[in-house]
């Protein structure tokens, strides 16, 4: 596997990561679309510049952060933490006032994402990321 | 409650406190303080990862030593016994960690590779490596607990 790593492989992984995040954000926005007092914004970003990118001379990338507002007050932030993660194929933290929801892709590289969410109250068992979990998160915030 | 459970509870308490503060900083636009707490969480992840891995490391040393002692005392054929006699019987004796691991699980198998990856990361953190990869602590803790249970002599 290590022998297969080169600059184009790294770029492909980044493209895939951005695509997975985009699909996740679409899922979140879709789940909240009929909520009158909820607004989703992607005006901030975080920088992706991980060790392998530096090693293979790949430029850093801006990765959008998704902020959720309820009655004009920010209640949750989807913050991408990293792509090359020990124990998962990418990690995003959903930061809230009650702590962080740790979201990780547990699927193998190149496979359809299998997002698992570890909530602030239960970090022992991962739940599937779906519309009902997003609504639950927003209602609790 | 075993040591993994205790550490897990403590780790998550700290991470939730820090992430709550990190979120508060975002709400108020305090970007420097936000970065500070982001970094605190990263260091907390690394510290607990190394701490918890050390529990697994101890387990692998103990179990591999137990296996060596058992083989030395039960094998009667001198030919078979000879290869075990050259291995140390004590868990703290000098024998490379991955060689100990290979006594408990198939070299190149999933568990062997997983522990080897964690070991590499542990060495990088413990010996002041200049880079670090983010850690998915909830999934790593699940694996560490499982490995602690299944890696036996």
List pLDDT tens digits, range B105-141: 999 999 999 999 999 989 988 887 655 689 999 999 9
- Where do the domains of chain B lie? 3-150
Q: Which residues pair with A80 in a beta bridge?
A: A92
- How many Å lie between the alpha carbon of A98 and the closest alpha carbon of chain B? 6
List pLDDT tens digits, range A64-116: 999 999 999 999 999 999 999 999 999 999 999 999 999 999 999 989 999 99
List pLDDT tens digits, range A24-54: 999 999 999 999 999 999 999 999 999 889 9
- Where do the domains of chain A lie? 2-140
- How many Å lie between the alpha carbon of B32 and the closest alpha carbon of chain A? 14
ipTM: 0.91
Cβ-based contacts of B134 with chain A (< 8 Å): 81-82, 84-86, 91
DSSP annotation of B139 reads: H
SS3 per residue for B51-103? HHHHHHHHHHHHHHHHHHHHHHHHCCCHHHHHHHHCCCCCCCCCCCHHHHHHH
Query: Alpha carbon A60 to chain centroid distance?
Result: 17
Tell which of B23, B35, B41, B52 to mutate to test the A interface (max A CBs under 10 Å).
B23
Query: Alpha carbon A137 to chain centroid distance?
Result: 15
Dihedral (C-alpha) B139, B140, B141, B146: value to the nearest 10 degrees? Answer: 90
Of A65, A20, A21, the C-alpha closest to A41 is: A65
- How many Å lie between the alpha carbon of A95 and the closest alpha carbon of chain B? 6
């Amino acid at each position: 596997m290590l022998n297969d790593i080169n600059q184009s492989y790294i770029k492909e992984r980044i493209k895939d990561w951005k695509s997975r995040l985009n699909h996740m954000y679409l899922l979140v926005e879709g789940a909240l679309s009929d909520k009158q007092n909820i607004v989703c914004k992607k005006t901030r970003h975080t920088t992706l510049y991980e060790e392998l990118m530096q090693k293979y001379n790949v430029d850093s990338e801006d990765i959008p952060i998704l902020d959720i507002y309820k009655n004009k007050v920010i209640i949750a932030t989807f913050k991408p933490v990293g792509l090359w993660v020990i124990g998962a194929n990418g990690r995003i933290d959903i930061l809230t006032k009650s702590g962080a929801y740790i979201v990780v892709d547990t699927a193998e590289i190149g496979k359809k994402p299998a997002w698992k969410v570890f909530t602030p109250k239960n970090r022992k068992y991962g739940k599937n990321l779906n519309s009902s979990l997003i609504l639950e998160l927003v209602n609790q915030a | 409650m075993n040591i993994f459970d205790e550490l897990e509870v403590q780790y998550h308490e700290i991470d939730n406190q820090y992430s709550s503060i990190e979120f508060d900083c975002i709400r108020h636009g305090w970007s420097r303080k936000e970065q500070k707490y982001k970094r605190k969480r990263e260091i907390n992840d690394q510290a607990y990862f190394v701490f918890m891995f050390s529990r697994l490391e101890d387990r692998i040393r103990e179990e591999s030593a137990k296996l060596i002692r058992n083989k030395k005392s039960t094998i009667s054929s001198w030919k078979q016994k000879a290869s075990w006699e050259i291995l140390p019987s004590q868990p703290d004796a000098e024998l490379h960690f991955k060689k100990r691991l290979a006594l408990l699980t198939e070299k190149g198998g999933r568990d062997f590779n997983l522990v080897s990856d964690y070991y590499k990361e542990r060495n990088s953190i413990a010996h002041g490596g200049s880079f670090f990869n983010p850690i998915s602590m909830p999934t790593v803790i699940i694996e560490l607990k499982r490995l602690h249970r299944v890696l036996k002599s």
